[in-house]
Structure 1
Amino acid sequence: MASMGSSGFLIIPWLLLATSAALFSAGVSSGENTPAVFVFGDSILDTGNNNYLPTLSKCNFPPYGRNFPGGKPTGRFTDGKVISDLIAGDLGIKDLLPPYLDPNLGAQDLSTGVAFASAFLVTQASESLVELYKLGARKIGVFSTLVSGCVPEGRTVGGGEERKCAENFNELARIYNGKLSFEMDNLNKQLPGVKMVFVDLFSPLLGIIKDPETYGFAVTKEGCCGTGYIEAAVLCNQLSPFTCANTSEYIFWDSVHPTEKANRILVSKVRDSINELL
């Protein structure tokens, strides 16, 4: 990363839950050109690094990837493309962001961006941002937590028999987002020349969940895979019964991760904020 040491980085951490986070970084050489995207984080952004790690948290098997080009599972925790791919494509860099651990990675892949995404603790996020600042990052966008009480797994765990949104989980997310925004304000004051923007994803996703018909969704409480209540990673596989036939009706692919369609909507809703940093 030290080789990217210009003043025009775009660093976007995605703080998904209180126990995990992700980081999106796009090297920027000018206000109109974004030549590279680098992603650090968890399974929401991972493009396949877990394939090469000693972990049971893998998804390089059907039905994952069934709407991906070629219909093949790649290690992305959704039916198609993840947010990392979509942002890279939206910025005109590349259609797919390869995982850094892919042994077939070439020099051209590295020059235009890769995904380092795998989980790291949110308590390390602030320190990581400061460290990246020391390496030259100056334009930083920090995403809010998602609506953890309204993802299918959150409903199953804390939503009662009716599987409503677990409001205690959501309230914790709201409190956390407030503290996160406050921390960004402090870092803006402490780090000379840095521009940090807090990007709210909690509200847009909650809006989609509350008004799914507007966005063409029919199912909000369950994921597409299996029963949609708890299935994710190895629990979501080609033997999982009841997997849906039409992912376009679902906000969530499994019990945690949004579908590619939902990812595309979220990216469109935060693009203006990203543009502020370019």
Structure 2
Amino acid sequence: MKFIAIASAFLASIVLTSAYPIQKASVINCRSSPSTSGKVVKTYKLNQDIKISCQATGIDVKGNTIWDRTMDGCYVSDYYVKTGKNGFVAKKCSGGDSKPNPKPTGTYCKGINARATKLIKSFESFVPQPSPDPSGFQTVGYGHKCQQEGCKEVKYKFPLTQATASALMSQDVAVHTACLAKLLKSNVKLNDNQWGALTSWVFNIGCGNLASSELTGRLNKGENPNKVIDSVFPNWRSSKGKILPGLKRRRDEEMRLAKVPSKKQAFPSCK
């Protein structure tokens, strides 16, 4: 009887494991860790069903920090899996999570100046309760993307005040400056206005898109930061092939901020 019970439980777990189709790309990489830098273990094709064994928090991909561990033992960004829900649909993986705020080597400026803070707030707007943004992602405060259903990871009480929303934004800014610092080499020199403009941009597009952008490679090769910003930022003002007025204004403001002269160095270290 004990054997039958165990076998029944095992079969039930298989039945309850739902399959979800791959979406938004013809081929998707399944990686060794929940990160865009993880080793590619295998690939899945568009509309191919995958079974999720558990989910982990990892590197941001187009606003989604959830990664799905498949029954093949590798990770796929949840952005590319049609689960029908903006949040966790399976249990959390035990261990092996890749934190979305990677710690860079060396010192760097975790924060941004008042100009950059004002810029981000003006475009993100204040949202006191978790609510879906235009793309359908749950957000709260000043552009904080919920990592759990109902933003349970946020330690502040809802509805947020502007003070608690600002504190939450400071935490999110540190995540994105850490991402920048990890990808940029120490030969890149940025003043606080350039650093703020880059942080606002990454805050908007996500760390995953930063990693795949030409911007980091060009900066690391020694190109002039403002020329690179002016060249790359305009490519990130559209959605589904259509230029959005709000994104255009944001890119223009970020490029304008980067050009404001400053003697205060922000990267590779605050001085």
- Common fold by TM > 0.5: no
- TM-score by structure 2 length? 0.27
Q: Calculate the TM-score normalised by the size of structure 1.
A: 0.27
Greater percentage in strand: 2
Query: Relative contact order (C-alpha < 8 Å, sep 6+): which is higher?
Result: 1
Larger Rg: 1 or 2? 2
